[in-house]
Homo-oligomer: A and B are copies of this chain.
Amino acid sequence: MNATKVNWEIPSLCVITGASRGLGRVLSLSLTKKLPRNSIIALIARSEEGLKGTKQLIEECDKETQVITIPMDLTTVSATQVEQLLAKVCQFVESCPVKIDQAFLIHNAGTIGDISRKASMFKDGDEITRYFNLNFNSAVILTSVFLEKILKDNIKFRHIIHISSLASQKAIDGWSLYCSGKAARNMYFKVLAQEDPSLSIISYGPGPLDTEMMKEILENALPEVGAFMQKVSNEGKLLKCETTVARLFTILEEGKFKSGDYVDVFDKL
């Protein structure tokens, strides 16, 4: 069954992680521009400074979007914490002058992990656990609490956007944790989508982006991978965040994918 098409005319609640910079910031701004006034946007990230910056940009662009900033470290997050922090979001939804009938939960936060070491060089269980806490567990906990507390049945259209990566499909030397974590997330959301057909879920591969994470990749990747990414960068083939967000929005509007599927920025649908 194809996913429900997004209708940008509906006053919406957006909750987005990793909203302090890069793709998360651009996504937050683009959603503000796309959605009607009185929509609510909740920004989650570790950096309070970064969240303030995103909030300011949103307010400069549209004073009537309600912005909530939620500083949260997803590495150590618990359900109780998420529940407490989301109580604020619930209040905004309930006191909103218009009926919020659409919600987006956007899992954008993520780290690349140590990409300078091969798969056979990971021996520290705690290191792997820390990576999965941030890049897998937190997404599961956030999703579960949101579905219980916020994306309730009184919000008619419910979309989950999982920012994934081509690395969830394709092995990249040195990226064993990143590839595995993204593959695990894709599969978690695939199961969720199958279990609950009322949700519309996409795992989206945004392509190689011109962000801080790319700088980290160019600095730390194994030589061959680093050289390849440098070539992509030199040839001007890195995508701007705005470009990949525009493609994502078209994919969401057209709804030509099966809920739970992985869709890449370069896929023809």
- Residues of B contacting A180 with CB < 8 Å? 136, 184-185, 187-188, 191
- List 10 other contacts, CB 8 Å, given A123-B141, A129-B137, A176-B187: A79-B124, A119-B191, A120-B143, A125-B138, A128-B132, A128-B141, A129-B133, A136-B180, A136-B184, A183-B186
**Cβ A196 vs Cβ B79 within 8 A:** no
Any chain B CB within 8 A of the CB of A61?
Answer: no
Partner of A120, one of B133, B137, B147, B173: B147
- Residues of B contacting A191 with CB < 8 Å? 119, 171-173, 175-176, 179-180
Report the interface size for chain A: residues with CB under 8 A from the other chain.
50
Per the 8 Å Cβ criterion, residues 177-198 of A in contact with B are 179-188, 190-196
- Least CB distance from A189 to B in Å reads 8
- Residues of B contacting A239 with CB < 8 Å? none
If over half of A's interface residues share one DSSP class (helix, strand or loop), that class is named, otherwise mixed; here it is: helix
- Least CB distance from A247 to B in Å reads 25
Any chain B CB within 8 A of the CB of A260?
Answer: yes
Any chain B CB within 8 A of the CB of A78?
Answer: yes
Partner of A137, one of B121, B125, B148, B186: B125
Any chain B CB within 8 A of the CB of A38?
Answer: no
Please name the residue on chain B nearest to A118 by beta carbon. B195
**Cβ A141 vs Cβ B125 within 8 A:** yes
Any chain B CB within 8 A of the CB of A144?
Answer: yes
- Residues of B contacting A196 with CB < 8 Å? 118, 120
Cα A147 to Cα B185 in complex, Å, equals: 28
Any chain B CB within 8 A of the CB of A145?
Answer: yes
Residue of A122, A138, A147 with most chain B CB atoms under a 10 A cut-off: A122
Known: A124-B79, A141-B125, A145-B123. A190 touches B179 (CB 8 A): yes
Cα A79 to Cα B127 in complex, Å, equals: 12
**Cβ B179 vs Cβ A181 within 8 A:** no
Known: A144-B122, A148-B120. A173 touches B194 (CB 8 A): yes
**Cβ B79 vs Cβ A123 within 8 A:** yes
- The 0/1 profile, CB within 8 Å of B marked 1, for residues 96-107 of chain A is 000000000000
- Least CB distance from A56 to B in Å reads 32
- Residues of B contacting A123 with CB < 8 Å? 79, 140-141, 144-145
